[in-house]
Amino acid sequence: MDIVIGILLIVSFLLFAVYAMRGGNLMMGFLFMAILWAGLGAIAGVTVWNDPTGTMLDINTGIFQNGPTSYGSSAAIIMFGSWFGEVLVETGIAKTLIRKAVELGGDHPAFTCSLLSVLVAVIFCTAYGVGAVIAIGCIVFPILLSLGIPKPLAAGSFLMAVGCGLYFNKSWFTLFEGLMEGISFSATYKLFAAIAFGVQLLATILMIIVVMRRQQSKARAVSAWAAGAPLEDGKQEANFLACLTPLISPVLSIACNVQVIPSILIAVIWGTFWTGYFKEPKKLSTLMQKTFANGVASIGLVLGMLMMIQMYQQAAKVCAPLLAPILSPIMPENTFLLVVIFALLAFLALFRGPFTVWGAGGATLTMMQGLNLYPVHVLFPLFFIPSTAINGSICPTQSWCVWAIGYTKITTKEYLRTVLPFALAVAFVLQFVAYVVFANGF
């Protein structure tokens, strides 16, 4: 009976992978998988509806109650990160920084595009959420397109730059903390993040140079019109001290070990003070309420999906003994071989595939965790890298990527033709970097 149910679990996983890659609703998909696996686990006798003794991970409390509630602290960090992104946009700090980069780049499109990529990468070391990406993209894209940057390159360089910031972004990292017990934003991880940030940013700039050289004959020498454009809604240009706001949270968090929410609060206070909001308490109150509401709304669906993943993970824990006899004999024991496989097949993170935790990979990770064959410092980079370098940075199913492709009015084919080779190269290199950096754990 156990073998039969184990086979049913694997079949359901494969069907879910197909469903995810075909664009299915992931929140509902993970909820259905949680219910199905909990039910199959109960039939096999590895769980029950309610266990008053507390010796078993039960369905009532362990899976469907404690699963989502255990993610509460992580959800708070994600919401604060999204709020911070909204504050940067609403105060005019983001637009001022972008204007300065354009002024510095002058009439050199490739150089200006590279400078904006660096700036966007720095901003998203702290800012998070689709709302922040869209708001900043609405400033960046008109500038890039007016300078003659090809539309696929404009979309690709902007999204790759957003992805660069995710390696240091505590809100993004927190998403994984809820999925993998035992990881931490440690000195070892910060070393990896610094290398990953540099590798992806270098790949982004290299992409800009390569594509612009191909397009050199078509490029237009257009003045940086945005340098003189007024900020909307009567906002004044942010001063130098206000422009330091995006750096405050990551510096405090990384260098001074300040927790992420206090570091964001300090950055918000700093930014609103130097943009004059403290002079008008009513205006400050309105800003805080508006930006927090917009920030939470922009990541509501992400949080919903993560809650469902938590239920599924708990259900998978109880089903692990049913899967181990079937999967353990065919799983590679050599860690380096696993790294090679994930490096070569990073494209499987595209379209919510089996290598991204924001798709079918959520089920892949859960099954591999349940086998107890690999320590967390091995599993973490295997899934974190494709989920970030591919899915989080350039995948056409990622919410902010969908928006950028639609905004620039390009086809998915021409977009991927431009950006995919460079993103795959990043994922390939970073798997081997992680193999060395995390050799001794976190």
Q: What is the pLDDT of residue 204?
A: 96
Q: Compute mean pLDDT per 10 residues along the chain, 442 residues long, and list them.
A: 86 82 79 92 90 84 87 78 83 81 74 90 85 80 83 93 93 85 89 96 95 69 43 65 85 78 90 90 91 84 80 82 75 88 91 79 80 87 94 85 83 88 96 93 82
pTM of the model: 0.75
**What pLDDT sits at residue 333?**
79
Output the pLDDT for position 127.
Answer: 83
Structure confidence at residue 217 (pLDDT): 53
> How far apart (Å, rounded) are the C-alpha atoms in residues 306 and 133?
20
pLDDT at position 231 is 47
Domain ranges of the chain: 2-437
pLDDT at 162: 93
Q: What is the pLDDT of residue 440?
A: 86
Dist CA 371 CA 322 (whole Å): 10
**The pLDDT value given to residue 226:** 42
pLDDT of residue 13: 81
Give the pLDDT confidence score for residue 435 in this predicted structure. 94
